[in-house]
Amino acid sequence: MNDLVTIFISMALINNFVLARFLGLCPFLGVSKKLSSAVSMGLAVIMVMTVASIVTWLLYHVLLVPFGVEYITTVMFILVIASLVQILELTIRRTNIPLYNALGIYLPLITTNCAVLGVTLINTREDFTFLETVVSALGGGIGFTLVLAMMSGIRERLQLADTPRSFKGLPNAFLVAMLLGLCFLAFGGMV
Amino acid sequence: MKKVFENLKNGLIKSNPVLVLALGLCPTLAVSTSIDNALGMTAAVLFVLISSNIVVSLIRNYTPNRVRIAVFIVIIATLVTIVDLTMQAFLPELSENLGIFIPLIVVNCIILGRAEAFASKNTPLNSTADALGMGMGFGIAIVIISFFRQVLGTGELSVFDREIFQAPGLTDNPMAIFILPMGAFLVIGVLLALLRYTGVIPNE
């Protein structure tokens, strides 16, 4: 139990996907202009990350390891993620229209989100058990959403601020990310 | 021939994938802690980008339009696996340093982006030139960033174990923040603003 809490905190706060591991920077910079879209994106990422981690863990330990073909991990994981995203999109469209309207356009984008492939690869490399994999995926997704929401809140206000012209847009976003990263450094003492 | 050269030049500065298009930021920021890592990453990306552009361009007339993205992803993932295994066998130290960012080249938007936007519509020669230009553009950006991070963060510059110079005053008290992840955000943010201020790349 203690291990699981440690993994969760480490994935969500200390080794935050965006600020410490540099995974998922594209959506972090692209979708963080409005708070509502940032939260939708975050929820979609949590969902895909968790499902993808469970499926890839099962496939890796049931198929790849017993047959000794670990070298096709990369090819297989990306195909699994791409098809999972499609299946999720179809299922949500059939069963839950409001959720589909909220997440709709963000789901296909997630296929090329390196945070999703990243979390499955990290789980494999760290040799996590099934339960640890689920917790690590949840922690990673929640940490990602947290930072995305904070960032979009800050950027909404930053748009009205009077900053030098050359800093408008991306450079400002990077500097905000640096300050957020410095704040998150303080979580390092928690584990 | 002139067009080939144009395609090559395009990626270097005018539409530099990292600095202007903001693609492929994850590996750029993550592995730019030292110039060695930056060069290793550039080599890996160049190989995958050039080969995938050539292959995609060669099969562009036979790929059904509806499944083209899936085809591109399988091609890219196969090439990345080749790079990953080769690097593990011959350059284990570099492979260890780059970690999961080698398999993550699969989801590097520069590569899929060039396959979709350029190679699937152009001849192999033009696609090679485009890949070379884009790859070098990526390389330039990542080497510049890692140069500042290494010099300010460790106080000295060494490439492949050969020392080039030591920054006076920084060797004893290096600014460790530049080696930490936050340093990458700081360097790229200020660098972008400087390039925009001097007019090298356009303002937003």
- Cα separation, A71 vs A183, in Å, equals 39
Q: What is the pLDDT of residue B46?
A: 94
- Cα separation, B136 vs B17, in Å, equals 10
What is the mean pLDDT of the segment spanning B97-125? 88
> Residue ranges per domain, chain A?
30-152
Alpha helices for B102-180 (secondary structure H): 109-114, 124-154
B87 in any annotated domain: yes
Number of domains in chain B: 1
B24 in any annotated domain: yes
What is the mean pLDDT of the segment spanning B182-200? 90
Residue A66 has pLDDT above 90, yes or no: no
- Tens of pLDDT, residue by residue over A14-33, are 888 888 888 888 888 877 77
- Tens of pLDDT, residue by residue over B21-69, are 888 888 888 888 889 999 999 999 999 999 999 999 999 888 888 888 8
Residue A149 has pLDDT above 80, yes or no: yes
Is the CB of A165 inside 8 Å of chain B's CB atoms? yes
Nearest to B26 among A22, A73, A169 (CB): A22
C-beta contacts of A156-161 below 8 A and 24+ residues apart: A156/A33, A156/A34, A156/A35, A159/A33
Tell me how close the Cα of B58 comes to any Cα of chain A, in angstroms: 21
B46 in any annotated domain: yes
B7 in any annotated domain: yes
B84 in any annotated domain: yes
What is the mean pLDDT of the segment spanning B141-162? 86
Residue A167 has pLDDT above 80, yes or no: yes
- Tens of pLDDT, residue by residue over A8-19, are 988 888 888 888
Nearest residue in chain A measured CA to CA from B74: A75
How many CA atoms, within 13 angstroms, populate the side-chain half-sphere of residue A148?
33
B99 in any annotated domain: yes
Tell me how close the Cα of A172 comes to any Cα of chain B, in angstroms: 7
B151 in any annotated domain: no
Report yes or no: B142 and B31 within 8 Å, Cβ to Cβ: yes
Contact across the interface for B181 and A113, Cβ inside 8 Å: no
DSSP A145: H
The domain of B54 spans 2-142
Phi, psi dihedral angles at A69 (to 5 degrees):
-120, 45
B148 in any annotated domain: no
Residue B86 has pLDDT above 90, yes or no: yes
What is the mean pLDDT of the segment spanning A164-173? 87
Contact across the interface for B193 and A23, Cβ inside 8 Å: no
Most confident of A42-46, A167-171, B50-54, B161-165: B50-54
Sign of the four-CA dihedral B195, B196, B199, B202: positive
- Cα separation, A87 vs A109, in Å, equals 14
Q: What is the pLDDT of residue A105?
A: 67
